[in-house]
Structure 1
Amino acid sequence: MWRSLASNMLTFLIVGLFLAVGVVMWGKSQYSVEGPLSDAICLRVERGSNMGKVSRDLEAKGAVSNGTIFRLGADYAEKADQLKAGSFLVKPGASMEQIVDQITRGGASTCGTEIVYRVGVTRTEARVRELDPATDQFVEIAAFDPTSEDAPEGYTAKRADADTRYRIALAEGVTSWQVVEALNAIDVLSGEITERPDEGMLAPDSYEVVSGADRTALLAQMQEVQELRIAAAWESRQEGLPLASPEEMLVLASIIEKETGVAEERGQVASVFVNRLNRGMKLQTDPTVIYGVTKGKGVLGRGLRQSELRSSTPWNTYVIDGLPPSPIANPGMASLEAAVAPVETDYVFFVADGTGGHAFAETLDEHNRNVAKWREIEAQRQNN
C-alpha cells in the first residue's frame, strides 16, 4: 500500500511539475507575444507610480491581456524598480516585454504635450502641441509670442501639467540680443539674464529644459556648445584662407548665415567673400550694414537707405576694408564649416534670383545682367 501511495504521490509531483513548467512557459510566451492593442495609446506614468498601477492602467486601455503576467515579467527581468515617469507612445501590437522595456529605459518622453519656444530671426514663438497617438502626428493647441502677447488658455492649462515637456529652439542667424530678450520672457525659466553674451557665441540648436531651469545656466550651455563648434571648425580649416583667427572665422560665418537660407549655397557664398578678401575687394554685404544700424536689436523692417549705405560705421562693408569688427549674428555649424571650407570658384558677385537663392557671377558684366533680371522679377511682383 505504501509503495502504491508513494508511486501515486510521485506521479502527482511529476504532473504538478509539468503543469508548473507549462504555466511558466505559457506566461513567458504571453509576455513576449504580440499584444492585443489595436490602436496606439499614450501611456502616462506618474512620478511615484509602480508596476501595479501601470499594469492596471494598461489592462483598462486594452494594451495587455493579463496584468499579473505583466508585473511578474517585469520582476523576472529585474526591471520592476526601474520605472520612469513620463508619457510613452505604445504602438499597436506592442508586447508586454516591449512596453516594460519602453517605460524603464528612460530618456525623453515619446508622446504627450510639448511646448516649444522657437527664438527666430523675426519673431519668438511658443507653440503648444500634443501627439495624437492615432496618427502619430503632433496637433497644435496654442501659439503666441511670449515677448509681446498674453499667454492663451491652452498654454496656461498645459503649463500646469506635471509631465509637459519643454524645448527651446534657437534659429540660425539670431542675434545675442534676441536670444536674451526671448529667454527673459519665457516663463518656464527662472532667474534673469542681465549681461548679453558676445555676438556669435551662442549655438543655434534645440535645448531640452525643465520647468524652473535657470536662464543663466542655459545661456552658459549655449556658449559652451558654440565654443566647441568654433574649435572644431577652426581645426578643420583649409589652408590658405584669408582668416587669421577663429574670431575672424566666426565673423565670416555670421555673414554667410545672414546672406543665405539655402543650405546648398553656403559654400558658394563663402567662396565669394573669400575671393573678395583675397583680392582686396570690399565685401559690400547688406546684412553687415543693417547690423551697424540695429546693433542686432530686432529687425530693421525696411530697406536700407542710401545714406546708411554711405555712412561710416564699423560694420559698413561698403566703406570699410575687410571684415567688420564682430559677428553680426549667431551662425550655425553649417555656416562655420562653409567659412573654413568654401567651394572653389572664381565668383566675386551674387544677387537674389527670385527663387529664394542667388545668381553668382565672376565678372561685373555678368553680375549686372543678373541684377537686371532680379529687378524685372521685383517689378513684376509689385505689379501683381
Structure 2
Amino acid sequence: MTRGRVTISIFALLLILTGLAGGLFYHQISRPGPLTAPQRILVERGKGLGAIAHMLEQRGLLRDRLSFRLTARLLKADRDVRAGEFEIKPYASVLEILDELRFGDAVLRRVTIPEGLSSAQIVALLSETEGLVGEIDRIPAEGTLLPETYYFSYGDERQTILKRMERAQLDLLALLWPDREPDLPFSTELEAITLASIIEKETANHAEKPLVASVFVNRLRRNMRLQSDPTVIYGVTGGEPLGRPILRSELDRETPFNTYRIKGLPPHPIANPGAASIAAALHPADSDYLYFVADGKGGHAFATRLFEHNANVARWRRLLKERATSSETVLK
C-alpha cells in the first residue's frame, strides 16, 4: 500500500471516529434527562456558566455538568443564559434545558393586594413577599395605591411594584373621573377617593357598594354628618385594625377623621379602595336612603327615616344577642 493510500485511510478513519464521537455526544445532550418531576430553578444575576452547570447537576437536572458546559460553548450560548426563575419540565434534555434558559419565559409570580388596606399595611405585605427585592423608601399617601393582583418575576424591586400600583390608580381615575355622575357633592379626585375609601371599609359586598355610596352622597347633600365607624377607627389607629368594639369615648373624641364629630369628608382617604368602590363613589345608586346597618346576612339594611333605621338597629342587636346566647349554649 502506498504512502498516499495509507494517509487517505487514516484520514477516513479519523472522520469516521469524529462522526461517531459527534453522534455519541449529540445522543448524550439530546436524550431525556434524569429529572422526573417539574422543577423551578433560579438563575441569579451574575452567576457564571460553571456555577449554573454545578447547580443544575446538584438539583438533579443533569447527569454531568461537562456536557452542559460544552454544549453551551459549542452553540456560543454561554453568554445568552438569562437570569430569572424558570420551570424545567420532566426528562428535559441538556439541549432543552439550555434552550429554556436562553429563550424560555421566566416564571411569573403574583401578589394580591386586598382592598381596603392602609398604605402602611400594603408596604408591610410587599416587604414580606418572597421573590421581591430591595427596600421601599417611603410609605405612599393613603388612597394612592390600587388594590389588585400584580405579576412579577423573581428579583423584581418592591419599589417598582409600588410604582405600578400608583400608576394603576392614576390610570383608573383618568378613565372613571370624566364620566362621573353630574352634581356630586364633591369636586376633586381626592374627595372621590376619600369617599370610596369609606365605602370600601363599610362593605365588602360589591353589589351594595352603590347603595352605601348613595347614603353618604345623600348625607353630604343635606349637610348631615356621615357617622361612619371606620372613620372613627382610622382616627384612633391610623389605619391599623382596632381589634375590638369602638368605645363611646372614641365616638366622642375629636379627630380630623371622626365623622360623628365633623361634617363633610375627612381630610384624606382612610384606606386604599378598590375599583368597585371608586366606581360606586362616582356613580352612586339613585336612592333616598340616609341610614344603613348590618343585616346579619353579609349585607346591610337600608332606611330613609330614622325610626326605620332604629328598628333595623334593634333587629341587628337582637340577632347579636341570640348568637351570643347560642354560642354560650354550645360552650356549655
TM range, smaller chain: 0.5 to 0.7
CA contact (8 A) 2:29 2:95 kept: no
Q: Which aligned pairs between 1:1-384 and structure 2 lie closer than 5 A?
A: 5=5, 12=12, 16=16, 19=19, 23=23, 27=26, 30-31=29-30, 34-41=32-39, 43=41, 45=43, 48-65=46-63, 67-75=65-73, 78-84=76-82, 88-104=86-102, 172-175=115-118, 198-202=141-145, 218=159, 222=162, 225-226=165-166, 229-230=169-170, 232-237=172-177, 238-240=180-182, 242=184, 243-263=186-206, 265-278=208-221, 281-292=224-235, 294=236, 296=238, 298-306=240-248, 308-309=250-251, 313-342=255-284, 347-355=289-297, 357-364=298-305, 367-368=309-310, 370-383=312-325, 384=327
Cα deviation for residue 269 of structure 1 reads 3.1
RMSD: 5.1
**CA offset digits 1:126-176 (Å, max 9, x no partner):** xxxxxxxxxxxxxxxxxxxxxxxxxxxxxxxxxxxxxxxxx9986543445
SS in 2 for 1:236: helix
CA contact (8 A) 1:203 1:223 kept: no
Larger radius of gyration: 2
Distance (whole Å) between structure 2 residues aligned to residue 281 and residue 37 of structure 1 = 68
5+ residue gaps, structure 2: 328-332
Cα deviation for residue 245 of structure 1 reads 0.9
Distance (whole Å) between structure 1 residues aligned to residue 19 and residue 78 of structure 2 = 26
Cα deviation for residue 96 of structure 1 reads 3.2
Note closer, same or farther for the CA distance 1:208–1:59 as it changes in structure 2 (3 Å cut).
Answer: closer
Aligned letter for 1:64? L
Aligned letter for 2:173? A
Cα deviation for residue 378 of structure 1 reads 1.3
Distance (whole Å) between structure 1 residues aligned to residue 127 and residue 66 of structure 2 = 49
**CA offset digits 1:166-217 (Å, max 9, x no partner):** x9986543445667899999xx976986xx7643345557798999x8xxx9
Give the structure, 1 or 2, with the largest relative contact order (CA under 8 Å, sep 6 or more): 2
Give the structure with the larger helix fraction: 2
| Worse-matched range after superposition: 358-367 or 100-109 | 100-109
5+ residue gaps, structure 1: 112-166
Cα deviation for residue 255 of structure 1 reads 0.7
Distance (whole Å) between structure 1 residues aligned to residue 5 and residue 120 of structure 2 = 91
CA contact (8 A) 2:57 2:65 kept: yes
Distance (whole Å) between structure 1 residues aligned to residue 288 and residue 77 of structure 2 = 62
Distance (whole Å) between structure 2 residues aligned to residue 263 and residue 88 of structure 1 = 37
Aligned letter for 2:233? I
**CA offset digits 1:56-113 (Å, max 9, x no partner):** 44345442356455334434654321334566553423343443244446987789xx
CA contact (8 A) 1:45 1:85 kept: yes
For normalisation by structure 2, the TM-score amounts to 0.67
| Worse-matched range after superposition: 366-375 or 238-247 | 366-375
SS in 1 for 2:277: helix
Among the aligned pairs, what percent are the same residue?
Answer: 39
SS in 2 for 1:304: coil
SS in 1 for 2:191: helix
Cα deviation for residue 248 of structure 1 reads 0.7
Cα deviation for residue 264 of structure 1 reads 5.0
CA contact (8 A) 2:195 2:269 kept: yes
Give the structure with the larger strand fraction: 1
Note closer, same or farther for the CA distance 1:198–1:75 as it changes in structure 2 (3 Å cut).
Answer: same
Distance (whole Å) between structure 2 residues aligned to residue 78 and residue 64 of structure 1 = 19
Note closer, same or farther for the CA distance 1:49–1:314 as it changes in structure 2 (3 Å cut).
Answer: closer
